[in-house]
Structure 1
Amino acid sequence: MGYNYTDEMKTRLKRIEGQVRGVLRLMEEGSPCKDVVSQLSAVRNASDKAIAQIVAENLQQCILEEQQTGGDTGKLVKQAVELLVKSR
Structure 2
Amino acid sequence: MEYDTKMINRMKRIEGQVRGVIKMMEEQKDCRDVVTQMSAVRSSIDRAAAVVVSKNLEQCIREAQTEEDSEAVINEAVNLLIKSR
Could you say which TM-score interval applies, normalised by the shorter chain?
over 0.9
Structure 1: tracts of 5 or more residues without a match: none
TM-score after normalising by structure 1:
0.91
CA root-mean-square deviation: 0.9
**Structure 1 stretches (4+) deviating beyond 6 angstroms?**
none
The structural deviation recorded for 1:61 is: 0.6
Percent identity over the alignment is 51
Number of corresponding residues = 84
TM-score after normalising by structure 2:
0.95
Q: How does 1:1-88 map to 2 (within 5 A)?
A: 3-66=1-64, 69-70=65-66, 72-88=69-85
Q: Which has the higher helix share?
A: 2
The structural deviation recorded for 1:4 is: 2.0
